Amino acid sequence: MRAFVVRQYKGPLQQADVSEPVVGEHDVLVEVQAAGLNMLDEKIRAGEFRQILPYKLPQVLGNDFAGTVIGVGAKVQGFKLGDEVHARPDKDRIGAFAERIAVAEADLALKPASLSFEEAASLPLVALTAWQALVERGNLEPGQRVLIHGGAGGVGTIAIQLAKHLGATVATTVSTGNVDFVRALGADVVIDYRSQDFEQLLEGYDLVLDSVGGENLEKSLRVLRPGGMAIGIAGPPDSAFARELGANPFLRLVMTALSSSIRRQARRLGVTYEFLFMRASGDQLRHITDLVNAGALRPVVGRVFDFDQTAQAVASLDKGGTRGKTVISRA
């Protein structure tokens, strides 16, 4: 079958003929109709995650998708042929930039009925990231205040909507041209990072979702109330993530060292920092699907490329400027 693979780190994404997916007894075989593009795909191609995601090359890329069930393993009970589904496959089983993919039943959910395949493919990774940050880690409650950086991006567009659904007051940072756009998504306080400094305008926040890292993360700690939490999805990774990953002792030490400075700063301010690398979860994705079907969340698809243009689409991620998600389609 046709797929797009990385043969060597920092090398180009290439179209290739690869073997059909192996379908285990708890797996579902899906004909991919559309796949979401994420910066994670580009970081994997560039080798930035080779220490924590040691893929055996060549590797088919692609971290979320939507499609139609065309086969089920012997012990699959929740899905049948013809079901329209979407998922973020487990990090060890990525490969959505292909004609077909086998995914564990536990990672799969039915596609929201109101969405196209392209819209459904845009959701799993970013929506699960937002859910795990705001609901699972952040325990965001009505009346609390949350700062979401990069509100016009893939994670940001969903996180704003989810935070509003949870009853929070939402601040976000965007470029000038996206101010009205994120207000329409529900943001209460919008900061144009080109002309404003969020640290000078915000204080006493309960939670920050940071997708930038570096100085931006350090400043984010200072807008939190005592006891508040900053969740970083751009790093640095921490020791808890190393344990979750099952990293070897050396890698655990490295990750602990990478986050030592930001954790010290957090302790001095009486706040906490946690790194989040989202995980696959069909159960959580079903909750998200319910919110989409109820009208509480809507995906934002900024660009759609044809499947044959997958390599160009991934290369475009570094240029930025796209609202929401970029998607490839096999329609």
Cα–Cα distances (Å) from 26 to 89, 106, 132, 264, 284, in that order, read 13, 8, 25, 44, 19
116 lies in the same domain as 142: no
23 lies in the same domain as 47: yes
96 lies in the same domain as 153: no
- Decide if 282 is inside a domain: no
**What six digits make up the tokens of 34?**
């559309």
228 lies in the same domain as 312: no
Res. 238: pLDDT tops 90: no
Residue 297: its pLDDT value, please?
97
Q: How does pLDDT run across 120-175, given as a tens digit for each residue?
A: 999 999 999 999 999 999 999 999 999 999 999 999 999 999 999 999 999 999 99
Q: If DSSP codes are grouped into helix, strand and coil, which group holds residue 62?
A: coil
Are 40 and 48 in contact, with CB atoms under 8 Å apart? no
146 lies in the same domain as 259: yes
Q: What percent of the chain has pLDDT over 90?
A: 88
34 lies in the same domain as 145: no
56 Cα distance to chain centroid: 22
Tally of CB atoms within 10 A around 54: 9
156 lies in the same domain as 212: yes
Mean pLDDT of 76-80: 97
- Decide if 253 is inside a domain: yes
- Could you give the CA distance from residue 190 to residue 92 in angstroms, rounded to a whole number? 37
CATH number of the structural domain spanning residue 256: 3.40.50.720
Residue 286: its pLDDT value, please?
97
50 lies in the same domain as 76: yes
**Model confidence at 249, in pLDDT bands (50, 70, 90)?**
confident
- Decide if 289 is inside a domain: no
- Decide if 281 is inside a domain: no
What pTM was computed for the model?
0.96
- Could you give the CA distance from residue 137 to residue 206 in angstroms, rounded to a whole number? 12
Tally of CB atoms within 10 A around 245: 17
Res. 258: pLDDT tops 90: no
Residue 255: its pLDDT value, please?
80
**What is the extent of the structural domain holding 203?**
126-275
Are 100 and 64 in contact, with CB atoms under 8 Å apart? no
- Decide if 287 is inside a domain: no
Among 234-238, 273-277, 304-308, the least confident range = 234-238
111 lies in the same domain as 161: no
Q: How many domains does the chain have?
A: 2
Cα–Cα distances (Å) from 94 to 44, 53, 212, in that order, read 11, 11, 24
Q: How does pLDDT run across 289-306, given as a tens digit for each residue?
A: 999 999 999 999 999 999
- Decide if 285 is inside a domain: no
The DSSP line for 265-288 is HHHHHT-EEEE------HHHHHHH
Q: How does pLDDT run across 86-127, given as a tens digit for each residue?
A: 999 999 999 999 999 999 999 999 999 999 999 999 999 999
For residue 84, the number of C-alpha atoms closer than 13 Å in the C-beta half-sphere is 14
Return mean pLDDT, the chain: 95
Helix, strand, coil: what percent of the chain each, to 5?
35, 30, 35
162 lies in the same domain as 255: yes
Res. 245: pLDDT tops 80: no
- Decide if 84 is inside a domain: yes
Residue with tokens 């930039």, as numbered in its chain: 97
Residue 11: its pLDDT value, please?
93
- Could you give the CA distance from residue 80 to residue 30 in angstroms, rounded to a whole number? 11
- Could you give the CA distance from residue 275 to residue 287 in angstroms, rounded to a whole number? 23
Residue 249 or 217, more confident? 217
Q: If DSSP codes are grouped into helix, strand and coil, which group holds residue 141?
A: coil
**What six digits make up the tokens of 288?**
């998200």
CATH number of the structural domain spanning residue 67: 3.90.180.10
- Decide if 288 is inside a domain: no
Tally of CB atoms within 10 A around 136: 15
Res. 49: pLDDT tops 90: no
132 lies in the same domain as 262: yes
Tally of CB atoms within 10 A around 270: 12
For residue 274, the number of C-alpha atoms closer than 13 Å in the C-beta half-sphere is 19
Tell me which residue of 246, 199, 242 sits closest to 223, measured CA to CA. Answer: 199
Res. 231: pLDDT tops 80: yes
Residue with tokens 């044959």, as numbered in its chain: 308
Burial code (b: 16+ CB inside 10 Å, e: under 16) for 153-192 equals bbbbbbbbbbbbebebbbbbbbeeebbebbbebbbebbbe
178 lies in the same domain as 131: yes
Mean pLDDT of 74-85: 98
